[in-house]
Amino acid sequence: MGKLTGTLLAAALFVPLSSADTVKVPKGLMPLVWPADNPYTPAKAYLGRLLYFDKRLSADASVSCATCHDPKHAFTDAAPVSTGIRGQKGNRSAPTVINRAYSLAQFWDGRASTLEEQAIGPMANSIEMGNSHDIVVSTLRSIRGYGPLFAKAFGTDEITLDQVAKSIATFERTVLSGDAPYDRYKAGDKSAMTPQQVRGMGIYFDRAKCDQCHEGINFTSNMFANLGVGTDKPDPDPGRYAVTKNPKDWGSFKTPTLREIEHTAPYMHNGSLATLMDVVDYYDKGGIPNRNLDPRIKKLNLTQQDKEDLVAFLKALSGSGWQHIRAPEIFPQ
């Protein structure tokens, strides 16, 4: 068997077996809306999964998207801040990829307007993957096994950065969490949540009013807020202000989803709060005062039992739809 024939035959092993043109959405979530210029196909999602886990997209082949957004940690890295090539540390915690299909602006500061734009950002970040976009593309073009996969997904084996971005974003939009105890409870199964979780739900919506920011089916407004996190430190992270240059945005960060919050510790943009109880305690005290503290952040005066009930409710937001995703055992060569 010739080398090229063998390569193409090996690549064929990666062609998706499913012919479905839709993604099954767990209960409690809305149907996915795919971008007009990047509709879903199984071939594109399959290719995106390979690229997502492929460390060869980084400058030294040591880091992939999954390094900081690992399925083992609910698509985070379980660290206060992320580690890139050569052990370099960033200054922000890796947000989960779960349910990013329902997000608007991406990153903690919202600097990327789409998942496609976000997907390629870390590749050219000197601390994260340390590569250039041109080298990413040339690397993929040099791997013969990728050509047939791009041809399957896009109708051409001419690999481009746009195709890389669309593939990874398509895969990421399939990473979903729903059908949680909360969803089943709201659908009529009153045994789906424990009495403690039901009490915590009352605190969440009625007393603490957490849904002022963490609202809707994905438990986020997709907006930005200043909670005071880190504002008492030297040289605090300016957050959204670095993007907009609007003084009102100083210290504001994107409101994350609370889906799977039980599994995405540590918390806040800088990973400074280790547990859900730490988070509840932080909100209970009214955050950290600063010139831009969101007016919705006020002392809650919760009892210890209230706090425990609220944490129990947050755990009722852990569902299913993403746990089956694993890193590929083999990659194109």
Catalytically active residues are 128
Could you tell me the CA-to-CA distances from 318 to 78, 80, 269, 273 in Å, in that order? 16, 21, 21, 19
Residue with tokens 């886990």: 53
* Angle of the 3-12 helix axis to the 146-154 helix axis, nearest 10: 50
User: Are 273 and 267 within 8 A, CB to CB?
Assistant: yes
User: Are 136 and 266 within 8 A, CB to CB?
Assistant: no
Residue 319 burial by Cβ neighbours in a 10 Å radius (0-12, 13-18, 19+): buried
Residue with tokens 């919202």: 110
Nearest to 298 by CA among 313, 310, 314, 287: 287
**Which tokens belong to 61?**
């082949």
Cis previous bond, 35, omega within 30:
no
User: Are 33 and 104 within 8 A, CB to CB?
Assistant: no
DSSP 56-76: GGSTTS---HHHHSBGGGTTB
Nearest to 266 by CA among 213, 219, 302, 229: 229
Could you tell me the CA-to-CA distances from 155 to 14, 116, 137 in Å, in that order? 16, 19, 17
According to DSSP, the residues that pair with 224 across neighbouring strands are 254
**Which tokens belong to 289?**
């005062």
